[in-house]
């Protein structure tokens, strides 16, 4: 069993599935990322024994004192120095012992990355809600306020912003890597707030309207994709990471308030195009095609739309698959919202492809070239495979009562967070991770 396999290298951040050994994601510090990332998956699937073993490891080895909430608070406090910049836009990295922060050397002249600074809101809001300490919420709300005030080229959010000046860096816009979860967290912040966070919903609507206006393209073969915007030009490619957008657009439609106009748009200041669900289905179809056109029936890291090549990875460095979840994530949301059986059928195709091509003796491994009928494994089982890919596949075939979408919001790493009640009632029971 895959979870038992990871118990044999408890301190590893990732599993080296062929050699059945442990690996670290960054440096020599052993944070047990695979265990931490998979704990809620174990709980949701009812694997109580494995969950308790993982919890015991966290209690014993993560040197923050106590377990879960106490550790989350301690980690949150250790992250706060990252926000000590002139704008409050945080650094990408912070030394948890010294509090010294810095950005990636490759990130557009010392800039922070949009997806990174935009993917703190859910977790920090939950910390403030659970502890009563407003500092975490204040930090992430300031990020959003800064971004909200900035002038945006054609309404678009570039992927880089400088933490000292508050200016945009390189003019590159992407729904995939570097940008993706910023948009996701705008919508999900509104959802987690009990649909009270009006700023988040307005910014989401405005951002998605600009994305669909400037980046959405349709190929001669009838495929719809979201390209990447660079200095005013659209590059005709889409990353596997961007395939989450189908699920996000569907979730945004399904969770729209009751106050709708006759044509399906949202009443009030912020309008929502009524075709978001249609766009979600088209993006899901394109991402499924990227899987179906590969020899192993799993999609490449990046696929292009150049001439006769549509939804195909054409460059050697783009043809790999590392057990990513975004495509099956979109299947999950569209199944829950539309109940179209094709999404379960596509999900089952992915399960079979994973078993056929990625299963190895010590777990599951990524593939170097999805267009080769004889898979060459990269010997890495990413922690997100347990936290996200397997979880979304499990939920795709589960009853809607397992983590209902009106009670739970998934973080960008697929960890379920409860919706914060509009009026916090201490006597109200929090929703359970598993159905009764």
Which among 119, 116, 90 has a CA at the least distance from the CA of 102? 90
Distance, in Å, from the CA atom of 290 to the CA atom of 308, rounded to the nearest integer, reads 14
| Structural contact between residues 24 and 11, judged by C-beta atoms closer than 8 angstroms | no
Longest dimension (CA), the chain: 61
Q: Which residues pair with 266 in a beta bridge?
A: 260
Q: Which residues pair with 233 in a beta bridge?
A: 230
CA dist 177 to 89, 159, 183, 239, 244, Å?
Answer: 19, 9, 12, 7, 11
Residue spans of beta strands (DSSP E) within 248-321: 302-306, 309-312
Count of other CB atoms within 10 angstroms of residue 5 = 17
Q: Residue 206 catalytic?
A: no
| Structural contact between residues 247 and 332, judged by C-beta atoms closer than 8 angstroms | yes
Count of other CB atoms within 10 angstroms of residue 53 = 16
CA atoms within 13 A on the CB side of 96: 11
Of the candidates 16, 123, 301, 329, the residue annotated as catalytic is 301
* 412 marked among binding-site residues: yes
| Structural contact between residues 38 and 3, judged by C-beta atoms closer than 8 angstroms | yes
Q: Taking the mean position of all CA atoms in its chain, how far away is CA 317?
A: 23
Distance, in Å, from the CA atom of 307 to the CA atom of 290, rounded to the nearest integer, reads 16
Residues 6 or more apart whose CB falls under 8 angstroms from that of 276 comprise 208, 249, 250, 252, 253
DSSP 8-state code for residue 89:
P
Query: Which residue numbers belong to the known binding site for Ca(2+)?
Result: 412
Query: Which residue numbers belong to the known binding site?
Result: 412
Q: Which residues are catalytic?
A: 301
């Amino acid at each position: 069993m895959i979870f038992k396999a990871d118990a044999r290298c408890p301190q590893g951040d990732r599993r080296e599935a062929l050699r059945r050994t442990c690996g670290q994601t960054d440096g020599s510090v052993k944070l047990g990322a695979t265990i931490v990332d998979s704990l809620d998956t174990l709980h949701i699937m009812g694997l109580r024994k494995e969950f308790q073993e993982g919890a015991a490891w966290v209690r014993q080895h993560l040197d923050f004192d106590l377990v879960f909430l106490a550790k989350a608070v301690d980690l949150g406090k250790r992250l706060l120095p990252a926000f000590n910049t002139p704008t409050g836009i945080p650094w990408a990295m912070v030394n948890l012992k010294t509090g010294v922060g810095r950005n990636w050397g490759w990130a557009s002249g010392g800039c922070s990355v949009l997806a990174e600074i935009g993917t703190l809101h859910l977790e920090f809001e939950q910390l403030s809600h659970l502890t009563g300490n407003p500092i975490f919420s204040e930090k992430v709300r300031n990020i959003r306020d800064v971004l909200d005030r900035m002038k945006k080229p054609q309404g678009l959010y570039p992927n880089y912003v400088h933490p000292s000046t508050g200016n945009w860096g390189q003019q590159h816009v992407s729904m995939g890597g570097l940008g993706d979860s910023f948009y996701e967290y705008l919508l999900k912040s509104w959802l987690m707030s009990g649909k009270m966070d009006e700023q988040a919903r307005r910014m989401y609507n405005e951002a998605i309207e600009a994305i669909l206006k400037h980046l959405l393209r349709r190929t001669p073969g009838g495929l719809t994709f979201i390209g990447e915007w660079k200095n005013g030009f659209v590059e005709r490619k889409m990353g596997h990471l961007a395939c989450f957008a189908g699920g996000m657009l569907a979730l945004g439609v399904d969770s729209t308030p009751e106050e709708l106009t006759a044509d399906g748009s949202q009443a009030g200041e912020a309008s929502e195009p009524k075709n978001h669900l249609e766009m979600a289905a088209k993006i899901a179809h394109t991402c499924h095609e990227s899987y179906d056109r590969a020899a192993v029936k799993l999609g490449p890291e990046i696929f292009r739309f150049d001439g006769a090549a549509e939804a195909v990875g054409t460059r050697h460095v783009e043809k790999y698959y590392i057990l990513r979840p975004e495509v099956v994530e979109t299947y999950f949301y569209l199944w829950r919202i539309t109940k179209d059986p094709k999404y379960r059928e596509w999900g089952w195709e992915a399960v079979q492809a994973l078993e056929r091509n990625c299963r190895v003796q010590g777990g599951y491994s990524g593939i170097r070239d999805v267009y080769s009928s004889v898979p060459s494994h990269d010997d890495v089982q990413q922690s997100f495979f347990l936290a996200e890919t397997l979880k979304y596949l499990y939920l795709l075939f589960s009853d809607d009562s397992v983590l209902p979408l009106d009670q739970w919001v998934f973080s960008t790493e697929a960890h379920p967070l409860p919706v914060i009640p509009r009026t916090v009632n201490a006597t109200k029971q929090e929703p359970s991770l598993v159905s009764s």
